[in-house]
Amino acid sequence: MKRLWWGALALLLAASFAAAQKLPWQKSERPQDVRYLFPEQVSVPAGEDSVVELHFRINPGMHINSHTPSEKGLIATNLILPDGSGIKLDKVEFPQGSEYSLRAMPSMKLSVYTGDFVVRAHIRATSGQHLVQAALRYQACDVNACYPPRKAPVVVDVIAK
């Protein structure tokens, strides 16, 4: 019985230690390059078309493709709303991108967002409170390198009356 106790204790210790430590071969995920800022909560009239302005911030030194990239094959920024959230996304207005060129090729003009930007989502909500868990899909780059596409979580509490 005593041995069992000690065995269980040793197992608990080993498991807790392993869980708390980052093992050398475990690569930590890159932090998001885009953050959703606000609003966290909006009140809209139920069943009517409403515009919600979603504010985002891109990390300094980074840029993301605009909604309309200048080159074919580049990944556009998009807002993704999962089905069944009680909200209908009628239309999304994205800002126009600004022109950006890599120093090694000034002739390649890219359409990007940097800093803060606002996306206007036209929504229609059924009566009630809806916790909308949307996402902004983007693909970020810095001056030299590009990073795989990511989804930044966009969580908004929509109260429709």
Partner 1 sequence: MKRNAVVIAAVVIAVGLMVWAGVLNYRHRQQQEAAVKQLQSMMAQPAAPSDGSSDAGADGSSAGFGGFMEHPLQGKMAPNFTLKDTEGRKISLADYKGKAVIVDFWATWCAPCKIEIPWLEQFNKQYASEGLQILGVSEDNLNLDNKTELAKEKQEIADKAKDLGINYPVLIDDANVSTPYGGVDGLPTTFFIDRSGKVVASTVGLAGRDEIEANIKKALGSGGQS
Shortest distance (Å) from residue 117 CB to partner 1: 18
Looking at beta carbons only, is 56 or 123 nearer to partner 1?
Answer: 56
| Residue 40 within binding range of partner 1, rule CB under 8 A | no
Among 7, 30, 115, 133, binds partner 1 (CB under 8 A): 30
Q: Does 131 bind partner 1 (CB under 8 A)?
A: no
Q: By CB under 8 A, name the one of 5, 40, 83, 84 that touches partner 1.
A: 5
Which residue in the set 57, 75, 92, 137 belongs to the binding site for partner 1 (CB under 8 A)? 75
Beta-strand (E) ranges in 6-149?
A: 34-38, 41-44, 49-58, 63-65, 78-80, 87-93, 98-102, 105-113, 116-125, 128-138, 140-141
Asked if residue 27 binds partner 1 (CB under 8 A), the reply is yes
Question: Cβ closer to partner 1: 117 or 158?
Answer: 117
Span from 49-57, 88-96, 117-125, 135-143 in contact with partner 1 (CB under 8 A) = 135-143
Burial code (b: 16+ CB inside 10 Å, e: under 16) for 139-157 equals bbbeeeeeeeebebebebe
Least Å from the CB of residue 106 to partner 1: 6
Residue 136 interacts with partner 1 (CB under 8 A)? no
Residue found under tokens 């109260």: 159
Within 13 Å and on the Cβ side, how many CA atoms surround 56? 32
Q: What are phi and psi of 3, to 5 degrees?
A: -60, -40
The CA-atom distances, in angstroms, between 86 and each of 43, 59, 82, 124 are 14, 32, 10, 9
Q: Could you say whether residue 61 binds partner 1 (CB under 8 A)?
A: yes
